[in-house]
Chain A
Amino acid sequence: MKLRLLTLLSFCFVVFQNCAPFESAELFQVYSYSERPDFFYDLKLLRIEEDELLRQRFLFDVAATLAEAPAAPVHYRLSFSTLMIPAVCQTQEGIATGAAKHFRVSCLMPLPDDLYVQLELEGPQGQRQAEEYRFSSF
Chain B
Amino acid sequence: MPIARGRVMASFRTVLSILFYFFFAWQVQAQSTPPFASFVPENMSVISHYPESAFVSNRLLPFTIAGGEENIRITSTRVTRGDSCVAMADPFHARVFHLHCRNPELLIAEVVFSMGFRENLIFIVGPFQILLERAPGEVTP
Contact = CB atoms under 8 A, between A and B. Distances in A.
19 contacts: A1-B14, A9-B17, A9-B18, A12-B18, A12-B25, A27-B100, A30-B60, A31-B91, A31-B98, A42-B60, A61-B56, A65-B62, A67-B62, A70-B62, A70-B66, A71-B47, A101-B51, A102-B53, A103-B136
Interface of A: 1, 5, 8-9, 12, 16, 18, 23, 26-27, 30-33, 35-37, 40, 42, 44, 46, 61, 63, 65, 67-68, 70-71, 98-104
Nearest to B137: A99
Contacts of A23: 86
A61 B135 CA distance: 8
Contacts of A32: 60
B122 interface: no
A101 B136 CA distance: 9
A61 B60 contact: no
Given A37-B92, A44-B59, 15 more contacts: A1-B10, A9-B17, A30-B100, A35-B92, A36-B92, A40-B60, A44-B56, A65-B62, A67-B92, A98-B51, A99-B51, A100-B136, A101-B50, A102-B54, A104-B135
Sorting the interface of chain B by its residue count into under 10, 10 to 19, 20 to 34 or 35 or more gives: 35 or more
B48 A70 contact: yes
A65 B98 CA distance: 13
A68 to B, nearest CB: 7
B39 interface: no
Contacts of A71: 47
Given A30-B86, A99-B53, A101-B51, A16 B136 contact: no
A65 B60 CA distance: 12
B23 interface: no
A19 to B, nearest CB: 12
A23 B31 CA distance: 15
Contacts of A8: 18
Contacts of B66: 70
B138 to A, nearest CB: 9
A136 B128 CA distance: 32
Contacts of A101: 49-51, 54
Contacts of B22: 12
